[in-house]
Chain A
Amino acid sequence: MSDYLDMELLRFSTAGSVDDGKSTLIGRMLYDSKSIFEDQYEAIEASSKKKGEEHVNLALLTDGLRSEREQGITIDVAYRYFATPKRKFIIADTPGHIQYTRNMVTGSSTSNLSIILIDARKGIIEQTYRHTFIASLLGIPHVVFCVNKMDLVDYSEETFHKIKRETEAFVSKLGIKDITFIPISALKGDNVVNKSEKMDWYQGGTLLYFLENVHIGSDYNHIDCRFPVQYVIRPQSDEFHDYRGYAGRIAGGVFKPGDKVIALPSGFSSTIKSIDTFNGSIDEAFAPMSVTLTLEDEIDISRGDMIVRDNNRPDVAQDIDIMVCWLSEKPLQLNGKYAVKHTSADVRCVVKEIKYKVDINTLHRMEDDREIKMNDIGRISIRTTKPLFIDEYKRNRNTGSLILIDEATNDTVGAGMIL
């Protein structure tokens, strides 16, 4: 039992296009790590036979909705789960073609790590740039490039190193913290879960070994204290007559009883009296814990406010520059008004300026094309109705992100990363 309690959670996303073997890789990981159940295996075995395939097609394990099976494509991000004795894994499996940017951005937004597949025969293609750029934009701390289909290039060391060198050259401009290269064959199982016997020249670990051991303890911000107030707890009972607790999930930093804090936007200061949970009060709380804070002084705080340390405050801003990824068929409207959700705050905004659009295949800024359509990424300036308490996205993914909502349809139309 104690083993289970020491397990960490790693969230990763996989990006790839139709034929690069992404589904096969996921199927292989699930199968070789013994995460496939008999009834699931029997189902895909039967499907493979029905289609006249020679081997059991592991890619079928990731097949989802009927409409997807009919069209032989994946439409939407699918989440999959497996565990080894060391870690529990959540895979955000993002399709490569239809609405690729939208799906990749969605899947990447909560990931610690991204796996980007490169076909050893083709080397770096447009999509490799695109996937890597999105991973860097979304601030994914760890990126693993899996050079796949090594079996089709005779497990050539030279091919692998050429792809590695070329990839490193363009990644250096993107500011990704941690990159790794692994030569694999998802189809044959080389270096996925089990070490390949065909690539003695490769001294590194398998993909699963890497996923189990990569250091993720520093992926959350434990420096800048940010507590967006989510809900105010007032029991109105005899036992807790005057209790007033601020419930929320810590978005950054470490909070302790006795800490001097201020509440934004009021600016009133107080001291943390206690950090409460159902199982009792605790000595400290850090991201991403859900807790309830009580303060020494009675000050007016409600949902949308933020409790921070006096000596380390976020920016308080109404004019905000963001990189936006557009998710809607209706293009972004200059001077258009949108609803905004940022941490627990709800405001409205107007789009003041579209600065440029990014060509996500070459990473060039396109200053003459400013129409931001579905799957486009661009830099824009917005002005909000009320100040938001923000950090740079690079510094904090919680307080540095926001979503834009179409006020007519209530649909989420934009994903914003604060610059």
Chain B
Amino acid sequence: MKSYNLNHLKELESEAMFVVREVAAQFENPVLLFSGGKDSIVCAHIARKAFYPAKVPFPLMHVDTGHNFPETMEFRDKYVKELGANLIVASVQNCIDNGLAVEEKGFNASRNGIQTVALLKGIEENKFDAAMGGARRDEEKARAKERFFSHRDEFGQWDPKNQRAELWNTFNGMKNFGENFRVFPISNWTEMDVWQYILAEEIELPSLYFSHQRDCFMRDGVVMYASDVIERRSEEKVEKMTVRFRTIGDMTCTGAVFSDADNLEKIIEEVASTRTTERGTRSDDKRSEAAMEDRKKQGYF
């Protein structure tokens, strides 16, 4: 007898497509959060597949910290053009200029925390009722308890103790006026799944993910890019290093790893043998044991 089995990537893809279509059907004004990082690129790719041959029926929104890697911005603009989608930019700089957010000071200053302000403002101004993002449950312990459809009150807050039960594949997007949802189509994917999928689907990525030479310095055991937006201590010497990035976020809190992996096959090999978590290079998660949980409660995605 013929066996009807999907491999794990196909099953995860099918699940994510189902979620994205469910968002388009259940919400009036959804948006896909797009950072130019691999997870949001995979989400956008899935959205493209879900509605083919029609165009993706919602815009993309980039929460722009103003501290992006130039490669990310270049990639973003090219990708959005190819997709034929509308891009909305929620600017952290604007929030600072308007006094809605206050910039951190000092050596470890980051705009990661105040991203939430720009994100919530972008959602409010555009009246988005659902914001999809590429967060995964394997990333962090607070995310392990996140739903596919995550209900937020009118302040955008997450209440981990009072989440809606989510059963089978039946997603409840009903809400009261002013409330909205965060939706995570690739909740069940791991870092490895994402890389395997990128290889299998031949998805293009920003060059930052691949091994290259870059001016870097070491801080607390993490390799940081010596960009203009990070203040360096006198003992932090800048050197050319052979590195790549495992995650792409704000330049101020995203560390690189030493790596010779210059293609997808090598990256997959590296991910398979690597002994630290992906977010191990993210200083935003290291601030306290519950850093992510606290940010999520405030409305971070």
Contact = CB atoms under 8 A, between A and B. Distances in A.
Interface string A38-71: 1110000000000000000000000111110100
Interface of A: 1, 4-9, 37-40, 63-67, 69, 75-81, 83, 87-88, 90, 102, 105-106, 109-110, 217, 220, 222, 230-231, 233-237, 239-240, 243, 245, 247-249, 254, 276-279, 286-290, 292, 303, 327, 339, 341-344, 397-398, 401-403, 405, 410-412, 415
B161 A67 contact: yes
Given A37-B275, A248-B21, 12 more contacts: A9-B8, A63-B141, A76-B163, A83-B190, A105-B165, A110-B169, A230-B22, A240-B54, A341-B170, A341-B172, A342-B170, A343-B170
B18 A249 contact: yes
Contacts of B106: none
A290 B21 contact: yes
22 contacts: A1-B268, A37-B275, A37-B277, A39-B280, A64-B142, A65-B142, A67-B160, A76-B161, A80-B144, A230-B22, A230-B25, A231-B24, A233-B53, A237-B54, A239-B53, A247-B50, A249-B18, A287-B4, A339-B174, A410-B172, A410-B175, A411-B164
A292 B192 CA distance: 28
B290 interface: yes
Interface stretch (B94-102, B126-134, B193-201, B247-255): B193-201
A322 to B, nearest CB: 13
Contact of A412 (B52, B164, B265): B164
Contacts of A65: 141-142, 145, 160, 290, 293
Residue of A105, A247, A279 with most partner-chain B CB within 10 A: A247
B116 interface: no
Nearest to B176: A410
A278 B274 CA distance: 33
A83 B8 CA distance: 11
B163 A217 contact: no
A235 B188 contact: no
A236 B188 CA distance: 33
A276 to B, nearest CB: 7
A47 B298 CA distance: 26
A289 B13 CA distance: 9
B137 A405 contact: no
Nearest to B264: A1
Interface string B1-25: 0011111111111110110011011
B176 to A, nearest CB: 6
B170 A401 contact: yes
A397 B167 CA distance: 11
A235 B55 CA distance: 7
